Structure 1
């Protein structure tokens, strides 16, 4: 007999925090342009404030609702309660699709690093992407308990070289460099990067049914992971900006190996580059696992085909869902991801906006729901605190759609496909209800 998630619940506080760490961050890679967009002073100050004004209120609200509904794809249930089942489906679908695209990027990033400055055919790169994707996927088939424990060791491997980088940088630091303001202020890029580097906390709701003592561990894991992620970005960037070699104005995505070369030499650069590969593996490893539970959780409540409901009897691993996501990833290995990343961001923001509004709405319409953890604010104060994160989310969503016309087309297409699929599911449900009534009458 298959154990239910409630009977299993293998994930403790540390495992959940590390899973959240790899769902959102996985290391400081990709944060370099936070400094180069507007300069060290503005970038680092923004990096300090953004998690406090945006991520913290949103995370605590997510913890409140996920602890009240500790099941896989928890957010589908409480968004559906707030706004109707269709909105619960849309949030799950947008979140699942964004994470599917996002996870498939990481094998491609490793492939790009392997073939940097090499004239390699598209066919060879595609084969290597598929091979890496397969290698990354296989460990996700074991169990989420294995993924949680492995995340601890992956975090150590990823972060140790940055501890060494910071220590090595100390004698070279000149904090006068940290006070510099960029010659050109690219606020749009800065805000987009901040959101990108702090997106993904809602993944915890995807496997809420696997978390031990969710009433106590949800908000603690949210706070612990937010602190870890903020420190993971802030400390290496602060050290690198204080050394300022190469000059911060030249920093682009993936600059940390070059920064490490200037600070510690070739050995540190190679170590950081290896850490980057491990980070990409960890990000795919955790995000793909969470996405499998997200799809299976949606199937549990009728938002995805019942075929995806099957879990492994011993571990509860949703292997069908994970293999389906892997198949989509293989197809995407042949695609250029520059535009798709904009779609990923847009869909992720859209899901977060609906989740935030639903959380506030439930305080007014379903105040009697038992909430084992509750944000210590009344409904009016909570709405006021959430106003800024929601306004920022709307601004970032509009900005993502303005990237180019292809992004608008693909985002709109993804939304329309979801609407059509939901409509077909509703027709199917009505058909089942009609057949059941006819059988009762006969």
Structure 2
């Protein structure tokens, strides 16, 4: 049997840490959105961060609120898909989402060092950079091992610290702003691949918080509330710096790339503000790494407790965490940190799209199979409303996939094939008794009865 939660570790994560955990799983702040201006200009960048939340973020957050309150346990979307389509597809969902999370987390040590390069040139390349990535990963992995409560309150502190310089920058930019700069657009010179990938990457992963549902304080109430407030926080943390930066500084589109907000801060406020933004960027990447690693490791723990992974993944430490799951997730970060920012984002988005398709199908199927199952938070409209809610984000997924490069598509499809073969391989090893699986029989099962 999987190890139960250690005695005395019944502390659950409350709503404020949850808001910032969602914030860091989805966003982490405006660091990394600069390429949206570089690829498409100010107008399309601003419009994108206004429209994308409506057609993508809000539907995903609503589905997460309904499904997460139906299944308030670790594992999240894996449990949803398993309940709707069976354990085989639940495993595939877990594989794609875990792999996407590991790829996503490989960005944060890279971005962390990118923002430190101006002050510490030695970390630009070579062994100093490699050793720095490893050291950062080890320290943050240990903090994750110490428990989700610590990670949650760390996320709050880091969030306040990393967003404050942008509030200051926005206030200082007001006398310089020329609204006409926001309207600059050249539709004949848009890098649609870069533009869509940056928008999509910065506005997805709302469902990741569901993998921590078993660690939440009263998830049936706190999950929907935390998602609501997190959507507002994320949209504002993108739009305010974007409006300040594009409105207060003359446009040089070629300069708008990863890290350019620190230069804008220097132009608007001086060197001190630039250093504050860079320190905030470093803090934001720490927060995003911690939140994503928590989501990935608790997803593996939840899968193991349902008998989808070897029992060793379900062994909880004295802090209520799975050391094996954490180490397994963190090791992938180190292996993938050699990839470029654009390659990581494109590969992650490709895998994420396939995972979301399974979630949308499961959401509709559960409405059909279990129409009367308890839903503490329910999206109105019945089955027709459920289908209608999934249409806009599905169209967006199709567009994102269509703009993927052949290289990214081939690598990502290869990873999907590995997942298709991995599940039967694990079952074969279980039959041969090479590895041990153990399902937690105390986990709740879904029934089709009203509250």
| TM-score (ref. length: structure 2) | 0.89
Partner in structure 1 of residue 441 of structure 2: none
* SS of aligned partner of 2:316: coil
1:58–1:356 CA contact under 8 A, matched in 2: no
Q: Which of 10, 30, 33 pairs up with 1:31?
A: 33
Residue pairs, 1:245-264, within 5 angstroms? 245-248=250-253, 250-264=255-269
Tell me the alpha carbon deviations over residues 31-63 of structure 1, each in whole angstroms, 9 at most, x when there is no partner. Answer: 122233333222212211110121111211111
Cα distance between partner residues in 2 of 1:245 and 1:258: 13
Partner in structure 2 of residue 52 of structure 1: 54
Residue pairs, 1:61-210, within 5 angstroms? 61-115=63-117, 118=121, 122-182=126-186, 184-210=189-215
Cα distance between partner residues in 1 of 2:392 and 2:261: 32
Tell me the alpha carbon deviations over residues 306-338 of structure 1, each in whole angstroms, 9 at most, x when there is no partner. Answer: 11101123x312222112222333333455565
177-186 vs 300-309, greater mean Cα deviation: 177-186
The answer to whether the aligner puts 1:283 opposite 2:323 as a matched pair is: no
Partner in structure 2 of residue 293 of structure 1: 298
Residue pairs, 1:257-336, within 5 angstroms? 257-313=262-318, 315-334=319-338
Partner in structure 2 of residue 218 of structure 1: 223
The alignment of Structure 1 onto Structure 2 pairs a total of residues equal to 428
1:37–1:182 CA contact under 8 A, matched in 2: no
The answer to whether the aligner puts 1:371 opposite 2:383 as a matched pair is: no
Cα distance between partner residues in 2 of 1:147 and 1:107: 17
Partner in structure 1 of residue 389 of structure 2: 385
Which runs of 5 or more structure 1 residues have no equivalent in the other structure?
A: 433-442
1:245–1:262 CA contact under 8 A, matched in 2: no
Shift of 1:8: 3.0
337-346 vs 17-26, greater mean Cα deviation: 337-346
Partner in structure 1 of residue 238 of structure 2: 233
Cα distance between partner residues in 1 of 2:200 and 2:147: 30
Cα distance between partner residues in 2 of 1:422 and 1:283: 29
Cα distance between partner residues in 2 of 1:332 and 1:37: 25
Partner in structure 2 of residue 436 of structure 1: none
1:130–1:333 CA contact under 8 A, matched in 2: no
Cα distance between partner residues in 1 of 2:75 and 2:192: 34
2:37–2:45 CA contact under 8 A, matched in 1: yes
What is the RMSD computed on CA atoms of the aligned residues? 2.3
184-193 vs 68-77, greater mean Cα deviation: 184-193
Partner in structure 2 of residue 411 of structure 1: 412
2:20–2:155 CA contact under 8 A, matched in 1: yes
* SS of aligned partner of 2:308: coil
Cα distance between partner residues in 2 of 1:112 and 1:268: 17
Tell me the alpha carbon deviations over residues 57-111 of structure 1, each in whole angstroms, 9 at most, x when there is no partner. Answer: 1211111011001111121112112112111111111111111122122112223
Residue pairs, 1:16-27, within 5 angstroms? 16-27=18-29
Shift of 1:430: 5.7
Cα distance between partner residues in 2 of 1:431 and 1:133: 35
Partner in structure 2 of residue 439 of structure 1: none
Cα distance between partner residues in 1 of 2:51 and 2:321: 38
Tell me the alpha carbon deviations over residues 276-295 of structure 1, each in whole angstroms, 9 at most, x when there is no partner. Answer: 11111111111112211111
| TM-score (ref. length: structure 1) | 0.91
Cα distance between partner residues in 2 of 1:192 and 1:62: 22
* SS of aligned partner of 2:415: helix
Q: Which of 333, 342, 348 pairs up with 1:344?
A: 348
1:158–1:276 CA contact under 8 A, matched in 2: yes
